[in-house]
Amino acid sequence: MGKLRPLAPMLAAVALTVSVAACGSGDTGTASAGGSGAPAEKIKLTVALFSDFHYAPLYEEFKKTHPNVEIVERRAQFNDHHTNLITQLATGAGAADVVAVEGGYVGAFTPNPGKFHDLKQFGLDKRQGEYLDWKWQQGVSNDGSSLMGLGTDVGGLAMCYRPDLFEKAGLPTDRDEVSALWPTWEQYIEAGKKFTAANVPGAKFTDGPGEHFRAMVDQAPTGYYDDQYNVIAGTNPEVKKAFDLSVKMIDAGLSAKLPAFTPPWNTGIVKGSFATMVCPAWKTGTIKDQKPGEGAWDIAAVPGGGGNQGGTHLMVPKQSKHPKEAAELIDLLTGKESQIKLFKEASALPSLPELYDDPAVAEFVNPYFGNAPIGKIFTDAAKALKPQKVGPKAGDILKAFGDGLQRIEQGKQKPDEAWAQALRDVEKIK
C-alpha cells in the first residue's frame, strides 16, 4: 500500500525489456458481453503491484459477487514495476487489468489520459466526496477530462525509533517525551548529536539522509514543481534548506549510510544498526516484515509537523480486456471497509477522511510497536498535511538530489559540488 521505494528515473523513451507476458490487446469489451453472450463466462483479471498489498482476503470478497472472475496478482520490485508500466503503455502490450501507481510516479501518467480508461465511465466519480480532495485530484488527468485512478492509502508521516538504543544513549524512551525532543528538524539533529556522543556500540542515530530530505521537501508548501507544473527545484529555498539540513546530518556523523529498502538496511532494522528512521504509515508494515521483534521499534511524531510520503492509486490501462470488472474490483479495494481492514493489517492509512474519526482507525493501537496509538499519530499527520503539486519528473528530481547526498556521504564530493551537480542533473531532466 504505497510502500515507497527509492525512486528510479522515469523513462520517457523506453528501452527496457517487458518482463511480463501481455494480457490484453486493447479490446475494451467486458467478458460478460463477449462473443458467446454467456453471462458467466470465465475471465481473468491481472493485478500488478510493487509489494504485498495484503489484498488476498479482499479478492475473495470480490469473488462472492463475481464468481466467474479469476484474479491473478503479479508483483515486481518498485522500480521495475513502474518502468515496466511505462514500457507496456508505450508498446501497447503487457499491462495488467489493474495497476498500482505510487504517488511519486502518478504525475508521469496523468498527462496521458488516453493510455487509461476513464473511471467515470464506470460510475466511480460518485466516490469523489469520500476522498481527501488532494488525493482525489492526484488521480485526475492534468487536463481534468478523465478520472484515471482511485487512491488507496496516504503516507502520513511519523518517526520510528528504537527505545532500547535511546535508553543506552541516556535519551528518553517514552514516545511523548521523544516527540518533544524534536519539534523541528534542527532539534532532531541536536538530539542526534547527543545520541552520537553516547557512543552506543554498533548504532548510528539514523539510517541515512535521503529519506529525511524527501520528508522535509514533502512537508513544504511547494516542492519540485509550482502550481503550473514548472520545475522550481533549483530555486525553491525549501529544497535547498532540506539539502543543507541533510548535509548537517552527514557532517555530524548521524548516518549509518544505509539507503532505505536495500538488504543491508533490512538487516539494520533487525540488528539495531540505527535508532531512528522517517516512518510514513505504510513503513510500519515494512519494519514488521523484517521481524525485529515485538516492541523493538516505537513511533513518535515527525519533526516539522505533519506530512505525507507515498500512497498509491489503482488504474485501468486501455489494454485491459475487462475494464468494467477491473473498475468494480478497484471500487471494492478502495472502499471504506477495505481501507479499514488494510489499515489494521498493513498500516495503510486510509485516504478517506471520514475514517479518521472512526474508532476503528482513530483508536487503533499496534502491539508490535509498543502499543503505539498509530491511528491517532498517523491521522494527525495526514490532517496537518499541506499537499503540493507532483509533476511528471518528480521521481527523477528526487533521485538527483538523493544521489548528491550519497556522493557527499561517500566522500566523493563536497556539499557545494554535490548541490551544483544535482542542479545540473535536474536541468537535464526538464
- Does 35 map to a domain? yes
Nearest to 61 by CA among 390, 418, 352, 342: 342
Q: Closest Cα partner for 154 from 395, 358, 384?
A: 384
What is the pLDDT at residue 232?
Answer: 95
Residue from 328, 316, 340, 353 nearest 1 by CA: 340
Beta bridge partners of 111: none
Report the pLDDT averaged over residues 238-251.
98
Residue ending a domain, among 350, 377, 401, is 350
When pLDDT is averaged across residues 382-408 and rounded to a whole number, the result is 86
Q: How far does the chain reach from its first CA to its final CA, in angstroms?
A: 29
Burial 314-324 (b: 16+ CB within 10 A, else e): bbbbbbbbbbb
Is pLDDT above 60 for 119?
A: yes
| Contact indicator for 280, 158 with CB cutoff of 8 Å | yes
339: pLDDT strictly greater than 90: yes
Residue 231 domain boundaries:
156-309+367-429
Give a yes or no: residue 205 inside a domain.
yes
As a whole number of angstroms, the distance between CA 297 and CA 275 comes to: 9
What would the pLDDT profile of 61-97 be if each residue is shown by its tens digit? Answer: 999 999 999 999 999 988 889 989 999 999 999 999 9
Q: What pLDDT score does 3 carry?
A: 45
Residue 430 has pLDDT above 90, yes or no: no
**Comparing C-alpha atoms, which of 148, 88, 79 is closest to residue 112?**
148
Q: What is the pLDDT of residue 380?
A: 82
- 255 CB-side CA count, 13 A: 23
How many whole angstroms from its chain centre is CA 137? 16
For a pLDDT cut of 90, what percent of the chain falls above it? 73
Q: Pairing mode, if any, of strands 69-75 and 43-49?
A: parallel
- pLDDT category at 187 given cuts 50, 70, 90 is very high
**Averaged pLDDT for residues 116-122:** 98
- 183 lies in the same domain as 256: yes
What is the mean predicted confidence (pLDDT) over 42-67?
96
Residues 124 and 247 in one domain: no
**Is residue 18 a part of any domain in this protein?**
no
Residues 383 and 297 in one domain: yes
Last residue of a domain, one of 301, 318, 350: 350
Taking phi first (over 0 means left), then psi (-120 to 50 degrees means alpha), and beta for anything else, what does residue 34 get? Answer: beta
How confident is the model at residue 168, as a pLDDT?
98
| Torsion of Cα atoms, 32 then 126 then 343 then 52, to 10° | 40
* DSSP state, residue 129: G
Task: Establish if 360 belongs to a structural domain.
Answer: no
Per-residue pLDDT tens for 370-387?
Answer: 999 999 888 887 777 777
Query: Are both 384 and 374 inside the same structural domain?
Result: yes
pLDDT digits (tens, 9 = 90+) for 267-321: 999 999 999 999 999 899 889 889 999 999 999 999 998 788 889 999 999 999 9
375 shares a domain with 277:
yes
The CATH number of residue 171's host domain is 3.40.190.10
Domain boundary among 350, 382, 415: 350
Q: Classify the C-alpha dihedral 240-242-247-252 as positive or negative.
A: positive
**Dist. CA 282–CA 299, nearest whole Å:** 13
Name the residue among 225, 264, 265 with its Cα closest to residue 110.
225
Dist. CA 250–CA 189, nearest whole Å:
10
User: DSSP readout, 301-326?
Assistant: PPTTS--EEEEEEEE-BTT-S-HHHH
The one-letter amino acid code at 377 reads I
At 39 the pLDDT is: 60
DSSP one-letter string for 389-400: ---TTHHHHHHH
Same domain, 246 and 180: yes
Number of H helices, E strands in the chain: 16, 9
Residue 188 lies in a domain: yes
By percentage, how much of the chain surpasses pLDDT 70?
90
Number of domains in the chain: 2
C-beta separation of 292 from 221 below 8 A: no
- Residue 1's pLDDT is what? 57
Residue 90 lies in a domain: yes
The answer to whether 128 and 323 have CB atoms below 8 angstroms apart is no
Residue 54 — very low, low, confident or very high, per pLDDT cuts 50/70/90? very high
In this prediction, residue 105 carries a pLDDT of 87
Output the average pLDDT for the chain.
Answer: 89
Residue 1 lies inside a defined structural domain of this protein: no
pLDDT in tens, 152-166: 999 889 999 999 999
- Evaluate whether residue 362 is within a structural domain: no
- Cα separations (Å) of 262 from 34, 382, 392? 46, 27, 25
pLDDT at 20 over 70: no
Reported confidence tier of residue 389, pLDDT bands at 50, 70, 90? confident
Q: Do 241 and 208 share a structural domain?
A: yes
Q: What is the pTM of this model?
A: 0.80
How many Å is the maximal CA-CA distance in the chain? 74
Same domain, 331 and 267: no
Q: Is residue 366's pLDDT more than 70?
A: yes
DSSP code for 15: -
Backbone dihedral region of 54: left (phi > 0), alpha (psi from -120 to 50 degrees) or beta? left
Residue linked to cell 513518535: 300
